[in-house]
């Protein structure tokens, strides 16, 4: 695999190309890129055929161990890769240790292994056990075993242990990776740990920056889950900027988690190349539709709308009149509100179609604006959309309070 970038400057928004994958040689992906979030190897709520109706472009799937670990024995028995086992062999697979959409329980680290959490409970992985799994799954890209159990509240002792254990794990993973015939076509990434402590991050970076790897995952900023969408760029900017300034500019930078679009734009501006689409999944689970790309006069709405609100019961317009997704072309807000109220499974399907489409279009727009030199104008435009949503929420709260006062 090769990663080619146009700009060699640190901490700037940049466009790059991922290419020359051994398993699918014709695949080519532009960055900044959103990995398509999956559970058990499939996009949540969508069949493969429906997903292909959303986008015909090649995609990279984000595969997490918590949703796939229990398939290990079955994958081994078939002697196929995980991509072949789940019928997604035409997509590049990016394997991660944790599921970005679900909070990872904290405080269960032990000396020589790290835990993952499946629907059947906790499973500890040593570097050897982890690499045996990697050889069975045969992902195109994967992250070395690491201890990312840190966040903004982690103390120096926890951060020091996370860095040291991750260094030890990486060394064992890299040794096995380099000696494995099975993994010759796979790429390994290193995880930069250290939480919000610059000194700890510097230690992690100095160890990894000259290793023979394609890139780095900026890890240890959070414990995953839906609350990550509430983390602002101001909270993470200083430590991310410090990290990227010390890393080789020509290598891939990855940040997993359901960051909100404003934080994504700030991270892109700092030079992060790869994200994931757990955010639109979380929005779907919240019964909401993404509308932050709607900038037309006929769509006077904020960055999301919630179908739990009664005002959509008689609204026979689409989510966005200019959206090209299957949901907006064929269904109205009133119909979606009805499906939501009656708890029909089709509601999640239609909402996921729209939200994934919107998010992939968001990244298309990011890349195009970087190329045109209008990225900062685009960033201002999206920020205004979120501010508009805040105004709408404030107005709704005021109306509710006024109604209560009249009743009293």
Taking the C-alpha atoms of residue 251 and residue 37, their distance in angstroms, rounded to an integer, is 23
**What are 135's two structure tokens?**
């050889």
Q: Cβ distance 86 to 138 under 8 Å?
A: no
**What are 136's two structure tokens?**
């069975």
Taking the C-alpha atoms of residue 191 and residue 217, their distance in angstroms, rounded to an integer, is 5
Q: Cβ distance 52 to 44 under 8 Å?
A: no
**What are 392's two structure tokens?**
């709408």
Phi-psi region of 116 (alpha: psi -120 to 50; beta: other; left: phi over 0): beta
Taking the C-alpha atoms of residue 344 and residue 14, their distance in angstroms, rounded to an integer, is 42
124 is in an annotated binding site: no
The CA-atom distances, in angstroms, between 226 and each of 115, 264, 278, 307 are 20, 15, 9, 19
Nearest to 1, CA basis, from 224, 377, 252, 268:
252
> What SS3 class is residue 80?
coil
Nearest to 263, CA basis, from 244, 287, 279:
279
Taking the C-alpha atoms of residue 376 and residue 6, their distance in angstroms, rounded to an integer, is 18
Phi-psi region of 19 (alpha: psi -120 to 50; beta: other; left: phi over 0): beta
Taking the C-alpha atoms of residue 130 and residue 146, their distance in angstroms, rounded to an integer, is 10
328 is in an annotated binding site: yes
Nearest to 93, CA basis, from 171, 185, 213, 193:
185
Taking the C-alpha atoms of residue 51 and residue 43, their distance in angstroms, rounded to an integer, is 7
Q: Cβ distance 166 to 193 under 8 Å?
A: yes
323 is in an annotated binding site: yes
In the chain, how many H helices and how many E strands? 13, 15
299 is in an annotated binding site: no
- As annotated, the binding site for Zn(2+) includes 323, 325, 328, 354
- Which amino acids are annotated as binding site, given as ranges? 323, 325, 328, 354
């Amino acid at each position: 695999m090769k990663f080619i970038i146009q700009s060699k400057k640190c901490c700037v928004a940049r466009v790059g190309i991922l290419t020359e994958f051994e398993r699918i040689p014709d695949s080519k992906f532009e960055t900044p890129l959103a990995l398509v979030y999956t559970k058990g190897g499939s996009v949540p709520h969508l069949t493969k055929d429906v997903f292909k109706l959303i986008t015909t472009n090649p995609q990279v799937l984000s595969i997490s161990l918590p949703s796939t670990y229990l398939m290990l024995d079955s994958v081994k028995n078939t002697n196929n890769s995980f991509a072949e086992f789940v019928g997604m062999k035409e997509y590049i697979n990016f394997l991660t240790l944790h599921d970005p959409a679900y909070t990872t329980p904290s405080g269960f680290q032990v000396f020589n292994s790290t835990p993952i959490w499946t629907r059947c409970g906790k499973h500890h992985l040593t570097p050897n056990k982890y690499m045996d799994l990697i050889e069975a799954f045969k992902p195109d890209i994967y992250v070395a075993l690491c201890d990312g159990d840190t966040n903004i509240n982690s103390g120096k002792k926890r951060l020091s242990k996370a860095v040291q254990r991750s260094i030890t794990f990486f060394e064992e993973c890299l040794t096995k990776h380099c000696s494995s015939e099975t993994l010759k076509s796979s790429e390994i990434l290193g995880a930069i740990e250290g939480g919000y402590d610059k000194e700890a991050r510097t230690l992690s970076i100095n160890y990894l920056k000259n290793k023979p790897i394609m890139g780095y995952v900026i890890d240890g900023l959070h414990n995953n889950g839906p609350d990550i969408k509430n983390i602002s760029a101001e909270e993470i900017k200083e430590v991310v900027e410090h990290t990227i300034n010390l890393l080789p500019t020509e290598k891939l930078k990855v940040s997993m988690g359901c960051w909100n679009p404003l934080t994504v734009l700030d991270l892109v501006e700092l030079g992060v190349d790869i994200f994931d689409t757990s955010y639109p999944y979380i929005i779907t689970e919240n019964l909401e539709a993404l509308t932050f790309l709607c900038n037309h006069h006929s769509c006077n709405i904020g960055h999301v709308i919630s179908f739990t609100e009664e005002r959509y019961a008689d609204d026979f317009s689409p989510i966005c009149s200019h959206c090209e997704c299957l949901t907006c072309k064929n269904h109205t807000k009133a119909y979606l509100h009805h499906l939501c109220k009656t708890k029909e499974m089709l509601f999640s399907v239609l909402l996921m179609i729209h939200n994934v489409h919107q998010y992939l279009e968001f990244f298309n727009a990011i890349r195009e604006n970087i190329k045109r030199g209008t990225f900062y104008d685009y960033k201002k435009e999206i920020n205004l959309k979120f501010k508009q949503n805040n105004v709408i929420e404030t107005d709704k709260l005021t109306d509710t309070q006024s109604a209560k006062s009249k009743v009293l």
